[in-house]
Amino acid sequence: MKAIETERLILRDISSKDKHDLFINIFHDKKVLLYFLANYIDNEDDLSIDALISRMNAGKIYYSIILKENGECIGILDEQKRENNLIELGYAIGSKYWNNGYVTEALNGVLNFFKKGKLFKYIEAGFLGANIGSKKVLKKCGFKFYKKDQETIFRNGINNAVYYYLKELY
């Protein structure tokens, strides 16, 4: 996919050079993993992003969220599923970057790109009920609640309902 530039960020295809930053900011950050459905990785050598790169090369969207100021990969924004004119997006960002508006900025950048190219009419995103930050991001980006999963995800000793929000682009 084409790189997307916002005021403070560059969203570009994930690459092997992002491995260290993704390890530190996502897969080795226990706060992030309270809400992001991935396993904690203790040693960077145990992290492989080859599967993500392979899926991206097969046509799925996997963006690295890069800070313009220093080139650090602070998170990811990716495709969860695609059906007809709908895409479900997921995202994660290192906890030390929370509450700075980065995810809102990244998601708005992707939404504008999709809308301009009429790539998808509907964008869906879900979050675990305990993740109030994601709920706020989706509301700021114009998403509206439309369903609660009947099944819950047991994570970190808590049964979490998954809430889905939807946005129509055009």
| CATH, residue 9 | 3.40.630.30
How many CB atoms lie under 10 A from the CB of residue 64?
25
Q: Does 128 have pLDDT greater than 90?
A: no
pLDDT at 94 (0 to 100): 98
Structural domain span for residue 36? 4-120
Whether residue 11 is contained in a domain is answered as yes
pLDDT tens-digit series, residues 37-53? 888 999 999 999 998 89
- Could you report the per-residue pLDDT of 72-93, keeping only the tens digit for each? 999 999 999 999 899 999 999 9
- 147 found inside a domain: no
Q: Are strands 86-93 and 122-128 parallel, antiparallel or unpaired?
A: parallel
Question: Nearest to residue 155, comparing CAs of 40, 74, 34?
Answer: 34
Q: Is residue 67 in a domain?
A: yes
Number of domains in the chain: 1
Our CA dihedral for 140, 146, 151, 152, rounded to 10 degrees, sits at 20
Report the chain's C-alpha Rg in angstroms: 15
The rounded mean pLDDT for the chain is 92
Q: Which pLDDT band, with edges at 50, 70 and 90, does 121 fall under?
A: very high
The token pair at 156 is: 């970190």
- Does residue 163 belong to any structural domain of this protein? no
